[in-house]
Structure formats: C-alpha cells, structure tokens
Amino acid sequence: MAYDILIVDDEADIRMLIAGILEDEGYAARGAYDADSAFQAIQARRPSLVILDIWLQGSQGDGLHILDVIKRDHPSVPVVMISGHGTIETAVTAIQKGAYDFIEKPFKTDRLLLLVQRAIETARLRNENEELKLRGGGPPTELIGISPATVQLRQVINRVAPTNSRVLIAGPAGSGKEVVARLIHRYSRRAEGPFVVINCAAMHPDRMETELFGVERPISYHVDQPRKIGTFEQAHGGTLLLDEVADMPLATQGKIVRALQEQTFERVGGGTFVSVDVRVIATTA
C-alpha cells in the first residue's frame, strides 16, 4: 500500500508542489495549512510521515508546536521539517524536539525524496525492533515440517496472504495460530506495515474498547494531556491480530463490526471518525 504523507505548509503552491513530487513516486499525499487543520488531518488518519513547515502564517501554533504535539501523541510518526527562513539554531531545536531532519526551501527534489524514503524506512525498522523486544522469546515465525498437513497449510497461506480478506484461524492452544497469522502478514502486500496483536482472553472486558479504539482527549493541545492510541490505529497500514476473539465481550463485538466493514471508528470519549486501513486476522480455539 502507498505510504500516507501529510504536508503542512501555509502556502498552497508549496503543498501542491510537494504533493505532486510525492505522488509521482507512488506516495499518497494530503495537505494542511495551519495547526488546527494539521491536528484534524492527523486525528482523522495517522500519517506515515509529516512534512512540516516551521513558520505558518495565520496559525495558532507554529511548526515547532505542532511537532511537540505529534511527538507526544504519535511518537513513532517521523517528521521532516522545512523552512525558507530557517537558521542553524532552529534546525537544532527541531532535531532536539524529535524531528527526523530539516531541509531548507528551495529544496532539490532528489534530496526531499531521499529524506522521505530514509525517514519512513528508519521508522519502520524502529517499529520492527520494538516488536521484537516485546516478543522476546515469543513464538517462532516459521512452519517446520514436511508432512502433508504442513505442506497443505503452507499452500493455503500462500493463497490467502496476497489477498486483503479477513482470516479466521482455528485450532487448539499451542498449535501455532499466531505463527500462521504472522506468515500471512509477512507474505502479504502489507508486509512492511505493522503487525499488532491483542489478546482478547487476557484483556479485562472493561478495557477492551479502550485498547482497541483508544481514548480521545479534550480538544486542547497542551502537552500534559496525551491521547491513547488503540490497536486499530497502531495497525494502520498493516495487520491486526485478534487473538482468541471468541473471548471478546458481546458488546464490543457489536461495535467492532463497523470498524471491520467500513474501516472507521470513534475513539472512546471522541466524536470524530478515525479512518484506518487495517487487515484483521482472528484466532479461536
């Protein structure tokens, strides 16, 4: 799938120029012109990367303020800062606040594309490393064996993986359901996206919706009020595994239907629909 890039700049011609460059390279591009429109765009769908101008005329917050909010709410989203009036001090401040890099206007197309590619790749590798640390000595990710049943299972995985269909994997505890789910993700078109697991059996029913959909914070951009991002949003562009889905509360099952069918949902306490692109795999005994 195409990486989703948000361009935040107060000049429409700059937004259109950058969007054209990115779309020619196969990226999907969106635009915002000030802090409010940038926050609304991020709230609607978390981008893969943000290209952010430091000076935004008529905005309630400048690029450094927006950077603070992004790094608070979405620390894994890389941000490339741009400016036509930048200084070394400003660039250093942006990097210290968590920006991936800083580029001055006017910029060369090749340099912009290189920064975008490197920023996305660095974020992807970081997410993979964090997943490996969380897994620790977790389950293997290969099917071992040459029995007819194993060969047949590999064939099924190879047929199902390239599709975008939802998958239900059934089998007793310890039979390798998560291994199969990871292989489906690895061989799919979403392989470079995240693979997120939520164990429905281990989750308290009162926390299930919070973990799946996240929690909205009040409409205020103070740094001490972080929003909780749910697993649906974390898995944007990749795969969400609902482990032991039969143990999910009935009330939550009803609310998850819309998210599965329309790929939209509301965070707990929120009133804005969030759009995601997620493939869902479920397991059950």
Q: Is 112 helix (H, G, I), strand (E, B) or coil?
A: helix
pLDDT in tens, 115-160: 999 999 998 888 777 766 555 445 556 788 888 988 999 999 999 9
Compute the mean pLDDT over every residue in the chain, rounded to the nearest whole number.
85
pLDDT at res. 223: 44
Say how many C-beta atoms besides its own lie within 10 A of residue 240's C-beta: 28
Cα torsion 172, 175, 176, 180 to 10°: value is: -70
Whole-number Å distance between alpha carbons of 205 and 193:
28
DSSP sequence for 176-238 = -HHHHHHHHHHTSTTTTS-EEEEETTTS-HHHHHHHHH-B---S---TT-PPBPPHHHHTTTS
Q: Is 175 helix (H, G, I), strand (E, B) or coil?
A: coil
pTM of this prediction? 0.65
Secondary element (H or E) of residue 258? helix 250-262
* Sequence-separated (6 or more) residues with CB below 8 Å from residue 125: none
pLDDT in tens, 86-110: 677 888 888 999 999 999 888 899 9
* Two tokens, residue 12: 């429409």
End-to-end CA distance of the chain: 31
pLDDT in tens, 217-243: 654 444 455 667 888 888 888 899 999
- Residue 59 is which amino acid? S
Parallel/antiparallel/unpaired status of strands 279-284 and 264-266: unpaired
pLDDT at res. 242: 92
Whole-number Å distance between alpha carbons of 67 and 81:
9
What string of H, E and C letters represents the secondary structure of 42-79? Answer: HHHCCCCEEEEECCCCCCCCCHHHHHHHHHHHCCCCCE
Whole-number Å distance between alpha carbons of 226 and 218:
10
pLDDT in tens, 18-70: 999 999 999 999 999 999 999 989 888 889 999 999 988 888 888 999 999 99
* Sequence-separated (6 or more) residues with CB below 8 Å from residue 164: 188, 189, 279
Q: Domains for the chain: give ranges and CATH numbers.
A: 4-131 (3.40.50.2300), 148-284 (3.40.50.300)
Asked if residues 76 and 120 have their Cβ atoms less than 8 Å apart, the reply is no
Q: What share of the chain in percent tops pLDDT 70?
A: 92
| Residue appearing with tokens 């606040």 | 97
Q: What share of the chain in percent tops pLDDT 90?
A: 42
